[in-house]
Amino acid sequence: MDKKYKNKTFSIIVPVYIPHNIFIIDCIESIKKQTCHDFECVLVVPATQKNDFLDLGLALNENFKILYSKNSDPASNRNLGINSTSGEYIIFIDSDDKINNHYLEICKQDIINYSPSLIAMNHTRVESELLSTDVTKIQTKYYEDKESVKNIFFSSYYRTKKVTNILMGSCWAKAFKRSLINCYSIKFDEGNFCGEDSMFVLDFGIFCESILLHENFFSYFYRRNPYSVTSDFFGQFFDVNLLCAHLDQINKQMHFNDEIFEFSKNNILSEKVNRVINYIVENRLSIFKGLKLLKNTYGKESYVYNTFKIDKRFIANKYVLQRRYIMLFFAIVKQKIKRLFHF
């Protein structure tokens, strides 16, 4: 580690994926515009994309460093970023996204006041919300006893839907204390393109000692890039069964009440299943084709396949509703054409 990067409060790790990445310049600009400059930022670029990266002609200042990786999956590149940095807290940002200008400033104040294991903030898909957030009105919730931390991490009984959205599912819009990651050798599951960040957050939750939540601070602007590594959900064949096994392993370590844990597990997995359902509906696959695809991908005994079977009446209704909207749209278009050409 270079001397100029030592003793920084924050290490920002950005796994870069170049092809069709139309947002990467915005992402880096949002990091450069931070009101707090106490950070190092590592851009981890697959070595095969080095020339494409250099062609971008990015103007980087002394806070930035480029690492070329032999891997292309985000999990491997995030692990490389962790091992190549030294900041007290680690922040992950996807190269499609951007952050609020006050992101690090708010985190720095939290560290001074509380020194939590984890800082978690809200995210938005509406850019105006990111830009218009009033930092003087940020609400803070701090959990410091082990029972509260365990409950809010692993039991949906103890948290609202908003807290679930903030805390679970992704590693971005958070700041993780490095000392815990190093002490317990927490890392991303390499080779996984989908779900690796969910498992990292859950693993961190096992050893997390305190959490600070900002429910009303939109720190992170999440953008849907149709060309991103995880955009083709079925192209990556995310193994929900793997996540199930991981959750069961955590249960053995944490000794939860079985009923509460099953409820929480289903709550975490339902978001993944909904993504599968939406994919099938949006691509207008028939119920039969959808079931066949799930059966071939995940297996007959899988959580996803069986949940889809149970919910097929709901999915069928979704199809009918979609078809009605399409028929209504074409009826309106037909009327407009008739009026325009007078026939």
The whole-number average pLDDT for the span 37-65 is 91
The whole-number average pLDDT for the span 307-319 is 48
**Cα separation, 295 vs 239, whole angstroms:** 12
**In this predicted structure, what is the pLDDT of residue 183?**
95
pLDDT over 60 (residue 273): no
User: Using an 8 Å Cβ cutoff, are 40 and 12 in contact?
Assistant: yes
Percent of the chain whose pLDDT exceeds 90: 34
**In this predicted structure, what is the pLDDT of residue 198?**
78
Burial annotation 327-341 (CB, 10 A radius, 16+ → b, else e): eeeeeeeeeeeeeee
Burial class (CB in 10 A: 0-12, 13-18, 19+), 138: middle
**In this predicted structure, what is the pLDDT of residue 234?**
40
pTM of the model: 0.72
pLDDT over 60 (residue 285): no
The whole-number average pLDDT for the span 6-31 is 86
- 129 vs 181, which has greater pLDDT? 181
Lowest model confidence (mean pLDDT) among 5-14, 123-132, 242-251, 271-280 = 271-280
The whole-number average pLDDT for the span 65-74 is 90
**In this predicted structure, what is the pLDDT of residue 334?**
47
The whole-number average pLDDT for the span 2-31 is 82
User: Using an 8 Å Cβ cutoff, are 80 and 103 in contact?
Assistant: no
pLDDT band at 314 (very low <50, low <70, confident <90, very high): very low
**In this predicted structure, what is the pLDDT of residue 181?**
96
Q: Using one digit for the tens of pLDDT, what is the confidence trace for 137-189?
A: 888 999 998 888 888 877 655 567 678 778 876 899 999 999 999 999 999 98
**In this predicted structure, what is the pLDDT of residue 47?**
92
- 261 vs 30, which has greater pLDDT? 30
- 295 vs 189, which has greater pLDDT? 189
Q: Is 191 strand, coil or helix?
A: coil
**Cα separation, 252 vs 249, whole angstroms:** 5
At 340, the amino acid letter reads L
For the four alpha carbons of 303, 232, 169 and 311, in that order, the dihedral sign comes to: negative
pLDDT band at 58 (very low <50, low <70, confident <90, very high): confident
Q: Which residue pairs from 123-127 have beta carbons closer than 8 angstroms and sit at least 24 positions apart in sequence?
A: 123/166, 123/172, 123/173, 123/218, 123/219, 123/220, 123/221, 123/222, 124/218, 124/220, 124/221, 124/222, 125/221, 125/222, 125/223, 125/224, 127/221
pLDDT over 80 (residue 201): yes
Backbone angles phi, psi at 12, to 5 degrees: -100, 125
pLDDT over 70 (residue 260): no
**In this predicted structure, what is the pLDDT of residue 136?**
75
* pLDDT averaged over every residue in the chain: 76
Q: Using one digit for the tens of pLDDT, what is the confidence trace for 208-230?
A: 999 999 988 888 998 866 555 55
pLDDT over 80 (residue 195): no
What is the Cα Rg of the chain in Å? 22
Percent of the chain whose pLDDT exceeds 70: 58
